[in-house]
Amino acid sequence: MEPAIVARDVTKVYPGSRSGAPALDGLSLEVPAGGVYGLIGRNGAGKTTFIRIAATQLEATSGSLTVLGHSVRGEERAIRSRIACVPQESRPLYFLRTEEVVYLYLKMRGLPTDEARRRTNAALEELSLVEYRKRLVNRLSGGLRRRTLCAMVLASDADVMFLDEPTTGLDPIARREVWQAVRRASREQRTILLTTHYLDEAEALSGRLALVERGKRVLEGTAVELRGRVRYPYRVTIWGAVPREELDSYGKVSPIEGGFLVFASEEHARELARWALERNLRLSLGPVSLEDIFLEVVGRPIEEETPLADDTNGAEAEA
Amino acid sequence: MSERHRLRSLGTFVLLNGLIPIRTQPLYLVNLLASPLSFMFFLTVVSHGVLLRWGITGGLILTMLSAGTGLQSDLTHYRHDLKFQDIVVASPVEAPVYVLGMALSELVYSLPGLAVFVVLFVADGLASPLSLAVLTGVLLLVWGFATALAFTLATYFQDVRETFMFSPLISLVLTVLPPVYYPLAYLPGWAQVVARFSPTTYAAALVQGAVHLAPLSTASAALDWGVLGAVTAALFLVAAFKARWKEP
């Protein structure tokens, strides 16, 4: 099947950028049709810029990008008829009721009344918003507003949906409800391009993932493939008084409360586990998390912001 | 998008930005009435009633102009603070449908003002088939160019506060300085020349001529229609080619 999104060497330098530093620096990606594709990276890495270019909201400086086979440069109309987007930091119009946000969005897209009502009811049900349906959105919490926007876009049944940090500010239960709706949409062969700060969310939802750092793609693949591409795909935690020198030969060792965390290759992880069991040490062994991979590849935790080249354009600062 | 879909979208924007906000804040309905009525009241009192008719025709023009220019703050607010334009861009809705829908929604707020001034217009004996036809045409053109101008500006503003700065300036250039509320002859010669740079001067001259407040020859009327039509067309072209539906 043809990929839903194909980006080749996409570069974006914001007009007025004093340093001329690119927000996207030759980014190439292929997002398969159907399923969830996760774009992960630190704040300011270029995720939102990429989504905005793919959603035809922003011009790229150079490179090519097609969505459903149509170029974002010159064939926007063909793309727009088949996409929907929850932009980062978007908020519903505050004077609307929750159900109106979803219903009027569907009507705005040209759906007939009956269909819009049916889909609105289903979306409110799916995202547990029924009890708030008559409430004005300015009386909802930030999380509920965000959930309402997710309901709005997921109800559209667009072929490609862009969700830019859709679950920011949601409590764990609400996040899972959004996940469920996203999974439902992906099962129905919709393509969802998702950015998130929550690496557990990216891993739980995404078939494939791309890790973006300073406007470049640094790693891409399924979670299993990503683990296969790092030097240490396993993490072994050992509790007890162990001389650190004895662990150094197995991989990368970090001290933790009451023991050590060792990142190791599969072979070394197995050897280390055997070594620990022989000494009656308590241990846990498993594949590295996405967070571990991120830390290894980027060298910094995902929570740490990317320093901006300059602050001439607020759009470069992705919150 | 088919014509049927476009009509649904248009209706939705009128509902979304016109009728529904009034449910939560009915005072929106008198908002656009305040300025034109104040001008008319002030002029009538100061002129001992002589300029009442000028106040009525001026009020009609200002009401329609405000319905158009009022769009800039709404569109800027929606674009920046709510990211609503981004949501609309990434949908089948085309820019002209969005702008026309939002412009029609602003018209809802000006309906009470229009109603008041039309009643005064008729009650004062200014209505005739010709004057009503001229008035309708002029008001549509004024609304059209103001809408195109407002949309273009709204796509450039970086913050809604910039609209607070521009609105009084636009009002000054388009309604206070040009002879919308008083005869052109009241202005000194050089100011009459300057006033010719404002499209509302031509709009006012047409309406004032149609109700016999000021003399208007056929040649002048043709020129006024031509300028007003050309300005409206030019601002539509600017909106079509220069407004930032997609950000650079």
Strands annotated E in A165-207: 191-195
In a domain, A316, yes or no: no
CATH of the domain at A166: 3.40.50.300
Provide the 8-state DSSP code for A235.
Answer: E
How close B86 comes to chain A (CA, Å)?
6
Residues A61 and A194 placed together within one structural domain of the fold: yes
Residues A174 and A67 placed together within one structural domain of the fold: yes
Q: In 3D, which of A301, A317, A313 has the Cα closest to residue A43?
A: A317
B131 contacts B208 by C-beta, under 8 angstroms? no
Q: Which domain holds residue A243?
A: 232-287
Residues A212 and A239 placed together within one structural domain of the fold: no
A·B CB contacts under 8 A = 102
Which band of pLDDT confidence, cut at 50, 70 and 90, is reported for residue A316? very low
Looking at chain B, which residue has its C-alpha nearest residue A12?
B248
Residues A123 and A262 placed together within one structural domain of the fold: no
B152 contacts B235 by C-beta, under 8 angstroms? yes
Contact with chain A for residue B26, Cβ under 8 A:
no
In a domain, A302, yes or no: no
ipTM of the complex: 0.88
How close B12 comes to chain A (CA, Å)?
6
What does the angle CA A192 – CA A220 – CA A205 come to, to the nearest 5 degrees?
35
Picking from A52, A110, A162, the nearest residue to B92 by CB comes out as A110
Residues A241 and A133 placed together within one structural domain of the fold: no
Question: What is the C-alpha to C-alpha distance for residues A47 and A38, in angstroms, rounded to an integer?
Answer: 10
Contact residues on chain A for B17, CB-CB shorter than 8 A? 93
Contact residues on chain B for A159, CB-CB shorter than 8 A? none
Q: Residue A312: pLDDT above 70?
A: no
How close B14 comes to chain A (CA, Å)?
10
Q: Number of folded domains in chain A? A: 2
Q: Where are the domains of chain B?
A: 3-242
Residues A263 and A205 placed together within one structural domain of the fold: no
User: Pseudo-torsion of CA A5, A9, A12, A18, nearest 10°?
Assistant: 170
Residues A265 and A186 placed together within one structural domain of the fold: no
Q: What is the pLDDT of residues B207-219, one digit of tens each?
A: 999 999 998 999 9
Stretch (H or E) spanning B109: helix B95-123
B5 contacts B94 by C-beta, under 8 angstroms? no
Residue B202: the pLDDT is: 96
Q: How many residues does chain A have?
A: 319
Q: Residue B162: pLDDT above 70?
A: yes
How close B19 comes to chain A (CA, Å)?
11
In a domain, A311, yes or no: no
In a domain, A80, yes or no: yes
Residue A52: the pLDDT is: 97
Tokens of A180: 């469920």
Instruction: Indicate which of B87, B97, B162 best probes the interface with A, i.e. most A CBs within 10 Å of its own CB.
Output: B87
What is the model's pTM?
0.88
Residue A309: the pLDDT is: 47
**If you average pLDDT over every residue of chain A, what do you get?**
89
Contact residues on chain A for B246, CB-CB shorter than 8 A? 56-59, 76
Residues A191 and A251 placed together within one structural domain of the fold: no
Domain boundary among A184, A207, A227: A227
CATH of the domain at A267: 3.30.70
Residues A251 and A206 placed together within one structural domain of the fold: no
Mean pLDDT of A91-95: 92
Residue A307: the pLDDT is: 65
Residues A221 and A247 placed together within one structural domain of the fold: no
Contact with chain B for residue A150, Cβ under 8 A:
no
Q: What is the pLDDT of residues A220-271, one digit of tens each?
A: 999 889 888 888 899 999 998 888 888 999 998 988 889 999 999 999 999 9
Residues A49 and A85 placed together within one structural domain of the fold: yes
Residues A197 and A281 placed together within one structural domain of the fold: no
CB contact under 8 A, B247 and A107: no
